[in-house]
Amino acid sequence: MNFDLSEKHQMLRESVREFRENEMEPLLEGIDPDATHIPKKDEETLQEKAKKQGLWAMGIPEEYGGRGIGILGRVISLEELSKHRLGLYNPGLGGVKLTPGIRVGSPEVYLDTASDFLMDRFIEPTLRGELQSCFALTEPAAGSDPTSMETRAVKDGDEWVINGQKHYIGDAGWCDYGILFSKTTVDGSDEGITCFLIDSDNDGWEMERQMDVIRPFDPFKVSITDLRIDDAFRLTEVGDGFDLAASGVRSGRVTYSAQHIGVATEAMEMALEYSRERETFGKEISKRQAIQWMIADSAVDIHSARLALYDCAWKADRDIDMRHEISMVKLQSSEVLGDVLDKAIQIHGGKGVDKELPLERWYREARIRRIGEGTSEIQRRTVARNLIKDYEPVDLLDKVNEWPTINPSQKQRRIDLGQR
């Protein structure tokens, strides 16, 4: 068994690190950490530089014009990009925008299902960094259990009429289009969940309010009232929306976990450095066993969570089922992140909660990470059910096994991503 990263992956890590240190950090230095967006011109500058350095659209398969770095490559890149003062707090600022701004981490999910019309209108401009989407799955009656969804699309000739409500939707207030999941009715019969792409200037798509949560990068509540769209805006086959949601959520768990490991590593290193500098009662606090144990426990947790994540990504790259593992990884990495940040804050004393350092911001965001992309309880439930093999009626988000594959009809389509 060889745990070494390949030369290709080591070089990738090095180039992403250099990009973060030489391009991102100086440019983002003066930005208000509570801002929800990087100024447009700075974002464009970063995107241009990423394109020039071959760091744009890294997760897009090569046959579509991307770099095709695979899941492990994406994990390593995100881990490096997240080691930044804004890294976890706001994914838009922390680097996910450098992989195109599709709300969940894996654009191939959409390449797999989009028609030529949807590719031209939404997906390709998104991959070039021109459009931003939001992922609208959760609603007041349906979070962990999306089968309770009440949003409904009724087929009316060649159109759909959609009514419902979504909440806690990140980016919805400023995105160009929504990836909307809705139950569907055709000729009076319930046809399950389907996914549609909705222009955000559609009259039936209304931002009800921004939801005031633990961080300033707030999600939104969206009302969908008599929203009418042509059937061409349907992203999946009727009734196949859950498969796409499952792929999207699973991919988001990989993205999340990579960020967790990156930020936890950075927090631990900050704590280590501070413990060597700070003296109390005549010696550095790093010489105290109480501090050493916090550092040791953090290092052990990060090391095991990183190995578990790499194992999962390695399997995904080989089309080996990693559904069981990704639940363990998302659960472990989000909890490790919270624990490591808590210890890093403690080691910094008062400075730990001072807004001058990123620790308190990371800590608030880390609290969300045990809820978003499937709560810790839902991950434990999935892991236990996989082990016990005593399934209750199938949870649809657990249903899809395979990592999304490329739709053969799209395979020849090469996208101009503006790479140099």
Ligand X SMILES: Cc1cc2nc3c(=O)[nH]c(=O)nc-3n(C[C@H](O)[C@H](O)[C@H](O)COP(=O)(O)OP(=O)(O)OC[C@H]3O[C@@H](n4cnc5c(N)ncnc54)[C@H](O)[C@@H]3O)c2cc1C
**63 or 395, CB closer to ligand X?**
395
How far apart, in whole angstroms, are the C-alpha atoms of residue 11 and residue 55? 12
Residue 45 or 144 having the CB closest to ligand X: 144
- Shortest reach from residue 323's CB to ligand X, in Å: 17
Comparing CB distances to ligand X, the nearer of 123 and 331 is: 331
**Nearest distance, CB of residue 288 and ligand X, angstroms:** 36
From CA 247, how far away is CA 254, in angstroms rounded?
Answer: 11
* Strands 152-156, 159-169: pairing kind: antiparallel
Share in percent of the chain as helix, strand, coil (round to 5): 50, 15, 35
Q: Which is nearer to ligand X, 133 or 286 (CB)?
A: 133
CB-nearest residue to ligand X: 143
Nearer residue to ligand X within complex by CB, 195 or 415: 195
In 20-90, where does DSSP find H-type helix?
25-28, 40-52, 70-82
Q: How far apart are the first and last CA of the chain?
A: 38
Q: Least distance to ligand X from the beta carbon of 104, Å?
A: 8
Q: Which of 56/177 has CB closer to ligand X?
A: 177
Q: How far is the CB of 359 from ligand X (least distance, A)?
A: 19
Q: Which residue, 27 or 396, is less far from ligand X as judged by CB?
A: 396
Question: What does the binding site for ligand X look like in residue numbers (CB under 6 A)?
Answer: 135-138, 143-144, 168-170, 213, 219, 368, 371-372, 375, 377-378, 381
Q: How far apart are CA 118 and CA 292, in angstroms?
A: 54
* Closest distance of CB 125 from ligand X, Å: 20
Rounded to the nearest whole angstrom, what is the least distance from the CB of residue 314 to ligand X in the complex? 27
How far is it, in rounded angstroms, from Cα 167 to Cα 125? 26
Other C-beta atoms within 10 Å of 203: how many?
A: 10
Other beta carbons within 10 angstroms of residue 4's beta carbon come to 7
Give the position of tokens 């080989």. Answer: 318
Residue 262 C-beta: closest distance to ligand X, Å: 19
Return all residues near 1 (Cβ < 8 A) that are at least 6 apart. none
Task: Give the long-range contacts of residues 124-128, CB within 8 A, separation 24 or more.
Answer: 124/415, 124/416, 126/100, 126/101, 126/102, 127/57, 127/60, 127/64, 127/66, 127/100, 127/102, 127/415, 127/417, 128/100, 128/415, 128/416, 128/417, 128/418
- Residue 157's nearest CA partner among 200, 187, 130 is 187
24 vs 169 by CB, closer to ligand X: 169
Least separation, in Å, of the C-beta of 145 and ligand X?
6
Q: Which is nearer to ligand X, 137 or 258 (CB)?
A: 137
Query: Which amino acid, 180?
Result: L
Contact present, 365 and 88 (Cβ < 8 Å): yes
Rounded Cα gap, residues 352 and 115, in angstroms: 50
Question: What is the smallest separation between the CB atom of 395 and ligand X, expressed in angstroms?
Answer: 8
